[in-house]
Chains A and B, each alone.
Chain A
Amino acid sequence: MKKMLIVDHTRCTGCRLCEAVCSANKNGAVNPNRAMIAIIKWEQSCIAIPMLCQQCESAPCMAVCPVKALNRDESIGRVVVNYDLCIGCRFCVAVCPFGAMDIDSVTGKIIKCDLCDGEPMCAKFCETGALQYVDAGTANREKRRLAADVLSDLIRKSGVKASVS
């Protein structure tokens, strides 16, 4: 069964450990600028949102690549770059709606999240569970239950027959 990296921004504390482990895992050095995940912040409003490649089913990057260097790898549920074919035209960078395609500041190559070949480091080290690598078919389960939790609490407190206004 395919997995997906699901983001719950309400749990993100903005610590950016994901950026550190991503870049260190790939390059042996901590450099948020070379990480494939970025925590976008609005400091004055206490907002932190993890942004990364959504591994789109119908990826715009795949659609525009003139040499078909971008392809889906269904075993892991990701879009991968074939560096043997990539000509570095950077059209993918221009069209990605999430800003997930990047140009590496050191090598100049196109880089994108590859889910660490099946064991994404960011999710592994995310203490709050804001990033989780879960079964795609049941990815919404936890959120449903969390959303229902408020109502279930009210029901327990006021008795089964009580109506909630």
Chain B
Amino acid sequence: MQEQRIAYIDLSSGQIRKEPIPGKMRRMYLGGRGIDVYLMYNHIPPRSDPMGPENVLTVSAGLLGGTLAPSSGRCHIGAKSPLTGLIGSSNMGGFFAPELRFAGFDHLVVKGQAEKPVYLWIHDGDIEIRDAAHLRGKDTFETPAVIRRDHRDEDIKVACIGLAGENLVRYANVVGGLKNAAGRTGMGCVMGSKRLKAIAVRGTQGLSISHAKEAMGYLEHILGLLRDSQTMKEFSRLGTPMWHDTSDMVGRVRNRNFQRNQVPDGRSLYAENMLKYSIGMAACFGCPVHCRHKYVVPEGPDKGKYMEGPEWSTLAALTAEVDCRRMETALVGNYLVNKYGVDSLELGSMVSWAIELYEKGIIDDKATDGLKLEWGNEQVLYEMIHRIAKRQGLGDILAEGPRRAIERLGEKSGYYNVHIKGMSCLHTDERPTPSHALGIAVATRGADHLRNRPGMDAHLLPPDEGERLFGFKVPGMTDWEGSGKLIRWHELIYTIPDALGLCKFYPLFMSPSTIGYDDYCKLVNYIAGLEMSPSEMTDIAERICTLERMFNNREGATRKDDTLPERYFVEPTPLGLFGFKDKMIDRERFEGLLDEYYEVHGWDRDGVPTSETLVRLGLDQEPSHTI
């Protein structure tokens, strides 16, 4: 690889330093999320205030970002999270990261705090800190438009915050396109706290491909695999909403804040309902899957405006969770959350919590300023989106995220707030699926599925096939045994596309029948000229996972934080197919899974990596301050 660099930007002093990336770091962490966690561990002082100048925002393109690897558009953004106080880590698609690489940079390390609103202007090796007074208050669509006009270049890519980030909503996100959002853990809030409104980038430099012919041949092979896959065809046509259908049918969808695990008569939310609004599919950089819809907002004050999406998570958060039944609600709501730049999953969860509190009489009209919170009322949902983004009334409390909102609304409210490590649970109900429940309990950034959820077909393999592919007995979707091993297996392999800057979707969420370590080794060799074996790459995966764990432990996380909301343990699922109905998580068995998970990771019973593990992975000298 040619000289891609890391830029260290101090917003307090205005100093900017640019450094090359040592080959050793590539061999140990690859890039993207891998080098990102190293930078966080080495530059964020322990116990620092996530909203203060000591916190560091990291922006990372992958080792193979913007190249001939399929779907190479992903960008990783990290910092200490203002929501959880633990590792903040989010990822977005689109075109921002490739452009950053074309401009010569793979990583940005932003520390300090600007005195006045600023934006970063990055172009072909140069970085400037520019005044952003004229961008204040602008939403995530206007901001890039103004920047492009100012610089007279429509091809500038912009990652920015909207009103939610400016207002320090603790789960504000970073938006890099109409809907490309680094959503979870509040990275937009960190940008807001630094008064960093946007990062604008334009690059015209090239990324050399070590073995171009082989790389193109391999790309052709991958495209062939995708073309042959029936699931991929459906995915390319329907997008992620297609997963709502099957999840809802069996009873794995969150409804009315976990009072139900299925939407009764919920067919109106199934993916085919999106098609009448879809005006085509759009893609991220270099992606043949093109999994998001383009549409025109069909009703309401923003009728006629263009938008992309909605992703299944946003769809479910803004409909199933709050028991709204119209697809149109998701289309309108998706526009709003993207415009404001706020995490749809967190927002949906907090709003459904508020509705249940109102339902149960724990908060009243005084708390809601007269707004009658009720299930299935889209006007209430829209109003809450506005109030949260603008921090008005109850919105100001909900904007604080689970822990602080519980403090303000009182102890009784706590039971109903479904969060892990301070980050809200997602749109799926994991009570019937022990391995998935373990997954969200142990994910380093809080309740999250993208770190370790198995591809669906892993659970459906014939037993000996599963054992052959994975090396252990693979649990069925509602089984317990082997869940610890299964989750750790997926945790490891997911770090690889994240470190390479590639999307998890084209291997269909790491389906065992698509691509694996062998393929990633080939890609890294053909494109970056780095030769490594699948076993070396597995070590890299372990190293990344373990360093994330170390970050959290250093911030005070313990085994107690790897747990599930109380509801998972005491309320059985009321609906669903046989096997999914009447299910909850057995506490003792859960602890058993946790033991299994820690053991296969080489961590002790408290979830602390053993010294043997640290030495084996070369982490015993951390923080080592290499970069």
**B223 and A14 contacting across the interface, CB-CB below 8 Å:** no
Verify if B208 is at the interface (C-beta below 8 Å from A): yes
Q: Which of B199-228 contact A (CB under 8 A)?
A: 204-209, 212, 215-216, 219-220, 223, 226-227
> Bound state CA distance, A152 and B204, in angstroms?
47
Residues of chain A lying within 8 A (CB to CB) of residue B206? 23, 27, 29-31, 33-34, 106
**A15 and B216 contacting across the interface, CB-CB below 8 Å:** no
Kindly report which residue of chain A lies nearest to residue B203, judged by CB atoms: A33
**B308 and A46 contacting across the interface, CB-CB below 8 Å:** yes
Residues of chain B lying within 8 A (CB to CB) of residue A30? 66-68, 206-207, 209
> Bound state CA distance, A25 and B206, in angstroms?
13
CB distance from B305 to the nearest CB of A (A): 8
Contact of B306 among A13, A17, A44 (CB under 8 A): A44
Verify if B583 is at the interface (C-beta below 8 Å from A): no
CB distance from B253 to the nearest CB of A (A): 28
**B178 and A127 contacting across the interface, CB-CB below 8 Å:** no
CB distance from A53 to the nearest CB of B (A): 19
Contact of A33 among B95, B204, B223, B290 (CB under 8 A): B204
Residues of chain B lying within 8 A (CB to CB) of residue A24? 67-68, 209, 212, 215-216
Q: Which of B154-210 contact A (CB under 8 A)?
A: 154, 177-178, 204-209
Residues of chain B lying within 8 A (CB to CB) of residue A46? 178, 279-280, 282, 294, 306-308
> Bound state CA distance, A105 and B102, in angstroms?
13
**B287 and A15 contacting across the interface, CB-CB below 8 Å:** yes
Verify if B340 is at the interface (C-beta below 8 Å from A): no
> Bound state CA distance, A30 and B501, in angstroms?
15
Q: 1/0 contact trace for B278-292 toward A, CB 8 Å?
A: 011111111110100
> Bound state CA distance, A28 and B294, in angstroms?
33
**A44 and B178 contacting across the interface, CB-CB below 8 Å:** yes
Verify if B145 is at the interface (C-beta below 8 Å from A): yes
Verify if A20 is at the interface (C-beta below 8 Å from B): yes
Q: Which of B126-162 contact A (CB under 8 A)?
A: 141, 144-145, 154
Q: Given the interface contacts A15-B287, A34-B206, A43-B178, does A10 sit within 8 Å of B280 by beta carbon?
A: yes
CB distance from B466 to the nearest CB of A (A): 31
Q: Given the interface contacts A43-B144, A46-B178, does A29 sit within 8 Å of B290 by beta carbon?
A: no
**A15 and B290 contacting across the interface, CB-CB below 8 Å:** yes
Q: Which of A107-139 contact B (CB under 8 A)?
A: 121, 124-125, 127-128
Q: Which of A1-25 contact B (CB under 8 A)?
A: 10, 13-17, 20-21, 23-25
Q: Given the interface contacts A30-B206, A31-B102, A105-B204, does A43 sit within 8 Å of B177 by beta carbon?
A: yes
Residues of chain A lying within 8 A (CB to CB) of residue B281? 13
CB distance from B424 to the nearest CB of A (A): 30
Residues of chain B lying within 8 A (CB to CB) of residue A21? 68, 216, 219
Kindly report which residue of chain A lies nearest to residue B295, judged by CB atoms: A46
Verify if A45 is at the interface (C-beta below 8 Å from B): yes
Residues of chain A lying within 8 A (CB to CB) of residue B154? 41
Kindly report which residue of chain A lies nearest to residue B208, judged by CB atoms: A29
Residues of chain A lying within 8 A (CB to CB) of residue B68? 20-21, 24, 30
> Bound state CA distance, A101 and B279, in angstroms?
32
> Bound state CA distance, A41 and B282, in angstroms?
12
Q: Which of A68-127 contact B (CB under 8 A)?
A: 105-106, 121, 124-125, 127
Q: 1/0 contact trace for B348-372 toward A, CB 8 Å?
A: 0000000000000000000000000
> Bound state CA distance, A21 and B307, in angstroms?
28
Verify if A60 is at the interface (C-beta below 8 Å from B): no
**B280 and A13 contacting across the interface, CB-CB below 8 Å:** yes
Q: 1/0 contact trace for B64-86 toward A, CB 8 Å?
A: 00111000000000000000000
**B282 and A44 contacting across the interface, CB-CB below 8 Å:** no
> Bound state CA distance, A105 and B137, in angstroms?
38
Kindly report which residue of chain A lies nearest to residue B284, judged by CB atoms: A15
**B220 and A28 contacting across the interface, CB-CB below 8 Å:** no
Q: Which of B314-333 contact A (CB under 8 A)?
A: none
Residues of chain A lying within 8 A (CB to CB) of residue B226? 127
Q: Given the interface contacts A31-B102, A46-B279, does A15 sit within 8 Å of B209 by beta carbon?
A: no
Most B C-beta atoms less than 10 A away, residue of A23, A105, A128: A128
> Bound state CA distance, A44 and B178, in angstroms?
7
CB distance from A153 to the nearest CB of B (A): 15
> Bound state CA distance, A28 and B68, in angstroms?
11
Residues of chain A lying within 8 A (CB to CB) of residue B294? 46
Residues of chain B lying within 8 A (CB to CB) of residue A43? 144, 177-178
CB distance from B550 to the nearest CB of A (A): 35
Contact of A125 among B66, B95, B223 (CB under 8 A): B223
Q: Given the interface contacts A15-B284, A31-B206, does A25 sit within 8 Å of B177 by beta carbon?
A: no
CB distance from B306 to the nearest CB of A (A): 5
Q: 1/0 contact trace for A33-60 toward B, CB 8 Å?
A: 1100000010111101000000000000
CB distance from A103 to the nearest CB of B (A): 12
Residues of chain A lying within 8 A (CB to CB) of residue B207? 29-31
Residues of chain B lying within 8 A (CB to CB) of residue A128? 290
> Bound state CA distance, A14 and B290, in angstroms?
9
Contact of B212 among A16, A25, A41, A124 (CB under 8 A): A25
**A16 and B285 contacting across the interface, CB-CB below 8 Å:** yes
Residues of chain A lying within 8 A (CB to CB) of residue B220? 124-125
**B216 and A25 contacting across the interface, CB-CB below 8 Å:** yes
**A13 and B290 contacting across the interface, CB-CB below 8 Å:** yes
CB distance from B341 to the nearest CB of A (A): 16
Q: Which of B26-79 contact A (CB under 8 A)?
A: 66-68
Binding site for A on B (CB under 8 A): 66-68, 95, 102, 141, 144-145, 154, 177-178, 204-209, 212, 215-216, 219-220, 223, 226-227, 279-288, 290, 294, 306-308
A-B contact pairs, 26 of them (CB 8 A): A13-B280, A14-B282, A14-B283, A15-B283, A15-B286, A15-B287, A16-B285, A20-B66, A20-B67, A20-B68, A20-B286, A21-B68, A24-B212, A27-B206, A30-B67, A31-B205, A32-B102, A44-B178, A44-B306, A46-B282, A121-B216, A125-B219, A125-B223, A127-B223, A127-B288, A128-B290
Q: A20-B68, A105-B204 are in contact. List 16 more A-B contacts (CB 8 A).
A: A13-B287, A14-B282, A16-B95, A16-B285, A21-B219, A24-B216, A25-B212, A28-B208, A29-B206, A31-B206, A34-B206, A43-B177, A44-B145, A44-B178, A46-B307, A127-B226
